[in-house]
Amino acid sequence: MKFTVLTLFPEFIENSMHTSICKRAIENGYLELETCNFREYTENKNGRVDDYPYGGGAGMLIQAQPVYDAYMAVTGGRKVRTIYLTPQGEVFNQAKAHELAEEEELVFLCGHYEGIDERVLEEIVTDNISIGDYVLTGGEIASVVVMDAISRLIPGVLGNHDSADTESFENGLLEYPQYTRPEIWRDKKVPEVLLSGHHANIEKWRQEQSLLRTKERRPDLLDGQ
């Protein structure tokens, strides 16, 4: 998978993605990351990429020209699925992560200020994605969230040890509580069944705990089941 990110803050994307599992995946060639600062493509002599909105209103908008020229420079006009991170997008979820993980290449466009001139969005954007109903300062963190979720679905990115995890979360329930050594910590004992060695009972307990926890914390996840 190749990710290309168009952003005014490429160092934020580079730093975030060169951490932990994504760092290893880039080093091992399972992921490729390119960032492009579209400020480098502005034709404004002061390096500006923003201007006032026609019709008035608060804040500034990113102009179409630098975004389009940066996009053409990184894609060469090829047809590439291009994701605009925006509060007006469809809310990202695990199904969308799976769908996007099928692509060989994705471009991410991160906005700042109050948004981007609609005309360039019409030209290049194929998918509008939000990461949830709260207000961020820009699209960068959202793009990292989406890339991180996609990355762990790419074959080879997770070690075999981690990949079993994938299946257990994706049954649509929250995970059961987990414990490691010591057996007693601050007078709290590990649930007896986990020490029993009785694998069928352990499996049954974990399923019960998953269901209980989901009912308590995320009843909305049970609506579709």
Least distance between ligand 9D3 and beta carbon 182 (Å) = 41
Of residues 91 and 195, the one with the C-beta less far from ligand 9D3 = 91
Of residues 96 and 206, the one with the C-beta less far from ligand 9D3 = 96
Of residues 143 and 214, the one with the C-beta less far from ligand 9D3 = 143
Relative to beta strand 32-36, strand 105-110 is: unpaired
The pair of structure tokens assigned to 145 is: 């969230």
Relative to beta strand 188-189, strand 184-185 is: antiparallel
DSSP E strands in 21-80: the ranges are 32-36, 50-51, 61-62
What is the number of H-type helices and E-type strands within the chain?
8, 9
Least distance between ligand 9D3 and beta carbon 138 (Å) = 5
Q: 3-class SS at 116? A: strand
Least distance between ligand 9D3 and beta carbon 14 (Å) = 19
Of residues 9 and 176, the one with the C-beta less far from ligand 9D3 = 9
Least distance between ligand 9D3 and beta carbon 209 (Å) = 31
Least distance between ligand 9D3 and beta carbon 163 (Å) = 28
Contact footprint for ligand 9D3 (CB under 6 A): 85-87, 111, 114-115, 130-132, 134-139, 142
For every residue of 166-200, DSSP letters joined together read HHHHTTSSPPPP---S-SEETTEEPPGGGGS--HH
Least distance between ligand 9D3 and beta carbon 127 (Å) = 12
Of residues 87 and 177, the one with the C-beta less far from ligand 9D3 = 87
Of residues 135 and 200, the one with the C-beta less far from ligand 9D3 = 135
By C-alpha distance, which of 79, 88, 70, 83 is closest to 146?
Answer: 83
Q: Residues 6 or more apart from 132 whose CB is under 8 A from it?
A: 91, 92
Q: 3-class SS at 148? A: helix
Least distance between ligand 9D3 and beta carbon 126 (Å) = 16
Of residues 83 and 173, the one with the C-beta less far from ligand 9D3 = 83
The pair of structure tokens assigned to 65 is: 């020209």
**Rounded CA separation 209/176 (Å):** 5
